[in-house]
Structure 1
Amino acid sequence: MDPFLALLNSFSSNLSEGELGSLKFLCRGEIGKKKLESVQSARELFSILMEQGQLSRHKVTFLESLLTSIKREDLVLRLKQFVEEGEVNAPDNEPDAHEKRRLKAAIKVISDNVGREWKQLMRELDFTDVQMERVMAANPQNLREQLVQSLREWQKCKGKDAKVTDLIQALRGCKMNLVADRVEQELQLMNTGTR
């Protein structure tokens, strides 16, 4: 069984009728009125979104924003865990396990230490304004989460070419040398086994 379809099926059985109604309303710009009226379950709604290319195992941002809008943070968390565990990305286009651990540590340090200047950093990483707008819309009022999700999106887009050295270089390019130093210190601690 496809793990992504199993996840969507699980989401469908966890959504109430009221939540389904909210999801249908939020999809009015994406799906025609007639088609929406015939939808009886979240499973059907997900199928339509998949048919229209709004949702796939490699494209979950729209689903995440829908679930966030109806305040189902539990499902958003499950979706993020699914993505983080590499189920969404093709395994041959991911950094190796060692680099993934390093990236995860670097993202934590960066998100703990970079504040309002996060857009400057993302631009240095060639992350587009459109991509940033999408992340900001999905995480309004939460600066830290906007940065974390932007970095994860960057990592996903880069695939196996995502490297911690790129993050450090971008930090230095933005004159965020203190944060770059902290990332390097964290990586040294990981290498010596104290982390």
Structure 2
Amino acid sequence: MDPFLTLLHSVSSSLSDKELSSLKFLCRGQFGKGKLESVRSGGELFTILLEKQLITNDSVAFLKGLLETIKREDLVLQLKQFVEEGEVSAPDDQPDVHEKRLQKVAIEVICENVGRDWKMLMRKLEISEVKMDRIVAANPFNLHEQLTQSLREWQKWKGKDAKVTDLIKALRECNMNLVADKVEQKLLPLNTGTG
């Protein structure tokens, strides 16, 4: 799946009807009124913007401007993270495909099983308090999202040096052995090539 389209889908599903209305109004200078009147969802609006190439995988300034205007700082942050995480970045600083798959599974298990103590885990992984505070501010009532974003931050920071073994080691150092065991169990079929 295209990470950029996944991001647009996520942004689209976060928009209220009022916000969608505002976005359509802000786009009036780009299209005729008729084209915008038929738009019923953020997804439809983004499709038009993609067709006109006002937003592309490596150019999100127009979308960022729209989201800033409707004061959706959380979505602007999501967009910035997408750019910083370098879905647009150099592939040579990324883990190999197998390691990425392992990380994806490990992160899912960690997010499902680590609760309120997630900051302790992130400190073990050397994520700064400032970054964690920023993530909490962007997702104030969503513990799962706070942990997911923090782990993405760790992946981005470590690049190709991000290893699942480091996640497991950090879990054990935080006495989250049950979670570490669950991660290892989930990864076993992937590591033996039967997954």
**TM norm. shorter chain > 0.5:** yes
Q: For 2:119 and 2:187, how far apart are their aligned partners in 1?
A: 24
| Shift in alpha-carbon separation, 1:81–1:132, aligned structure 2, 3 A | closer
- 1:88 to partner: Cα distance: 2.9
Cα pair 1:99 1:163 within 8 Å, conserved: yes
Which residue of structure 1 lines up, in the alignment, with residue 125 of structure 2?
Answer: 125
Structure 2 residue 44 is matched with structure 1 residue 16 = no
| Distance in structure 2 (CA, Å) of the matches to 1:161 and 1:193 | 22
CA–CA distance in 1 between the matches of 2:86 and 2:134?
Answer: 21
* Counterpart residue type for residue 126 of structure 2: D
What pairs up with 1:74-153 in 2 under 5 angstroms? 79=79, 87-153=87-153
Q: Is the 8 A contact 2:74 2:139 kept in 1?
A: no
In the aligned structure 1, how far is the partner of 2:143 from the partner of 2:98?
Answer: 28
Q: Residues 160-195 of structure 1: CA distance to partner in whole angstroms, max 9, x if unpaired?
A: 000000000000000000100111111102234554
Structure 1 runs not aligned, ≥5 long: 20-56
| Contact 1:68 1:76 (8 Å CA) reproduced | no
Q: Aligned equivalents of 1:84 and 1:129: distance in 2?
A: 19
Identity %: 61
Which digits, 9 at most, give the CA deviation of each residue in 1:49-75, with x for residues without a partner? xxxxxxxx7xx9xx5x959953997x9
- Over 3 Å counting, the alpha-carbon distance change for 1:17 and 1:72 in structure 2 is farther
CA distance in 2, matches of 1:192, 1:139: 37
Q: Per the alignment, do residues 181 and 87 of structure 1 end up closer, same or farther by CA in structure 2, a change over 3 Å counting? A: same
Q: 1:143: Cα distance to partner?
A: 0.2
Q: Which of 70, 73, 80 does residue 72 from structure 2 map onto? A: 70
d(CA) in 2 for partners of 1:169 and 1:90? 28
Output the CA distance in 1 between the equivalents of 2:174 and 2:114: 11
Q: Secondary structure at the match of 1:16?
A: helix
Match of 2:44 in 1: none
TM-score by length of 1: 0.60
The alpha-carbon deviation at position 81 of structure 1 amounts to 10
CA distance in 1, matches of 2:194, 2:103: 17
TM-aligned CA deviation for residue 109 of structure 1? 0.4
Determine the C-alpha separation between the residues in 1 that align with 2:105 and 2:84. 13
Give distance in 1, aligned partners of 2:84 and 2:184. 23
Cα gap change, 1:103/1:80 in structure 2, threshold over 3 Å: closer, same or farther? farther
Instruction: Return closer, same or farther for 1:104/1:143 CA change in 2, 3 Å cut-off.
Output: same
Aligned mates of 1:111, 1:190 — CA distance in 2: 19
CA contact (8 A) 1:95 1:159 kept: yes
Q: Normalising by structure 2, report the TM-score.
A: 0.60
Alignment size in residue pairs: 143
- CA distance in 2 between partners of 1:68 and 1:133 (Å): 23
Cα distance in 1, alignment partners of residues 109 and 70 from structure 2? 25
